[in-house]
Amino acid sequence: MKYFFSLLLFLATITAQAQSWPSRPLRYIVPFPPGAFNDTLGRTISAELSKTLGQPMVVDNRPGGNSIIGTEAAAKSAPDGYTLFGAALPFSVIQSLYKTSFDVTKDFAPITLAGISANLLVAHPAFPVSTVKELIEHARRNPGRINYGSSGNGTSVHLSMELFKSMTKTFVLHIPYKGSAPVVTDLLAGQIDVMFDNVPNVIGHVRAGKMKAIAVSTPQRSALAPDVPTVAEAGVPGYELSVWFGVLAPAGTPRDIIARLNTEIVKVLNAPEVKDRFAKQGVEVRTSTPEQFGEFLRAEVSRWAKVVQDANIKAD
């Protein structure tokens, strides 16, 4: 009987909290430095939700540890509706590469998928390769003498090239950085030879002639670079990597709050001006229900666990 009344008290407390939510500022944790699209997504959502929810929402950048630091902070936050988390493709791979104190499928409550983008394989203009087949041949002739940069172990940038290496039986030296910006800087300076990166991060440099685009990682060509072939059509059949972005909360966040957040965020993302602005950055807005996003995440975690194992991808 004591347990029964305790349970009723707990449920009544949760209901009261949900009904008064939000009564104080919210935060949106981004496990990457400012500047990349995940940060842009968080700031777009936060700015609009601050208006519709009537409470400030601040972006809390928690980079480091190959996104583990920010992800752990979100997983251990109170499930009260005051913490949101901006996830991206690395979220579904992190447990296949590292030992973590959290479980991505158990410690988070999905809210909505937000968008899909491609990674662009680019090279310094002076690098003697302009096509996928030329890169494969050059890498086979020069094993370990070609290098590529990534924004960190387990990121889509890292996985794009490791998948490429595995499928083409080539060896390209990996140089991990802390974030995308320093990799781009070194590629522009000729310090590294090639890299994959999110289309929004490099398309401007390609258009300015400071980088040359070789291929895109997705099954279809990018609308921002329609003349650039996919990796699959350019010589590696079956190659596919789509970069996704989504929004989650700590597991245990009340369902009615999750439902409200889903409604508000989906509304923000599907606003014509937001869809147009994101499209110009190479990101296709794609929203979902919490349940659909949960199914998507579980499939991604399973898929990447197999890829990491089969390709023997390691955290350098």
Each residue's pLDDT tens digit, 173-207: 999 987 788 999 999 999 999 999 988 789 899 99
Residue-wise pLDDT tens for the chain (316 aa)? 555 545 444 444 545 555 699 999 999 999 988 877 899 999 999 999 999 999 999 999 998 888 899 999 999 999 999 999 999 999 999 999 999 999 999 999 999 999 999 999 999 999 999 999 999 999 999 999 999 999 888 889 999 999 999 999 999 999 998 778 899 999 999 999 999 998 878 989 999 999 999 999 999 999 889 999 999 999 999 999 999 999 999 999 999 999 999 999 999 999 999 999 999 888 999 999 999 999 999 999 999 998 888 878 877 6
Is 76 in the same domain as 139? Answer: no
Task: Identify whether 20 is part of a domain.
Answer: no
Other beta carbons less than 10 A from residue 302's beta carbon = 13
Task: Identify whether 6 is part of a domain.
Answer: no
The b/e string for 52-65 (b: 16+ C-beta within 10 A; e otherwise) is ebeeebebbbbbeb
Task: Identify whether 78 is part of a domain.
Answer: yes
Q: What are phi and psi of 9, to 5 degrees?
A: -65, -40
Task: Identify whether 230 is part of a domain.
Answer: no
CA distance readout (Å), 144 to 5, 133, 190, 316: 66, 17, 17, 15
Q: What are phi and psi of 103, to 5 degrees?
A: -120, 120
Task: Identify whether 229 is part of a domain.
Answer: no
Is 74 in the same domain as 38? Answer: yes
Spell out the residues 6+ positions from residue 37 whose beta carbon is closer than 8 angstroms to its own. Answer: 117, 198, 200, 201, 245, 281, 283
Task: Identify whether 297 is part of a domain.
Answer: yes
Is 125 in the same domain as 206? Answer: yes
User: What residues make up the domain containing 289?
Assistant: 26-117+242-310
Is 148 in the same domain as 173? Answer: yes
Is 128 in the same domain as 99? Answer: no
Is 267 in the same domain as 131? Answer: no
Task: Identify whether 236 is part of a domain.
Answer: no
CATH of the domain at 91: 3.40.190.150
Is 113 in the same domain as 31? Answer: yes
Is 113 in the same domain as 255? Answer: yes
pLDDT, one tens digit per residue, over 253-287 is: 999 999 999 999 999 999 999 999 999 888 999 99
Is 180 in the same domain as 112? Answer: no
Order across the sheet with 147-150: list the strands.
Answer: 173-176, 147-150, 194-198, 119-123, 212-216
| Rg for the chain, CA atoms, rounded | 21
Is 295 in the same domain as 146? Answer: no
Q: How many domains does the chain have?
A: 2
Report the C-alpha gap between 77 and 71 in whole angstroms.
10
CATH of the domain at 200: 3.40.190.10
Reported pTM: 0.83
Is 47 in the same domain as 80? Answer: yes
Is 92 in the same domain as 73? Answer: yes
Amino acid (1-letter code) at residue 234? A
Task: Identify whether 10 is part of a domain.
Answer: no
Spell out the residues 6+ positions from residue 292 whose beta carbon is closer than 8 angstroms to its own. Answer: 113
Q: With contact defined as beta carbons under 8 Å apart, do 114 and 247 qualify? A: yes
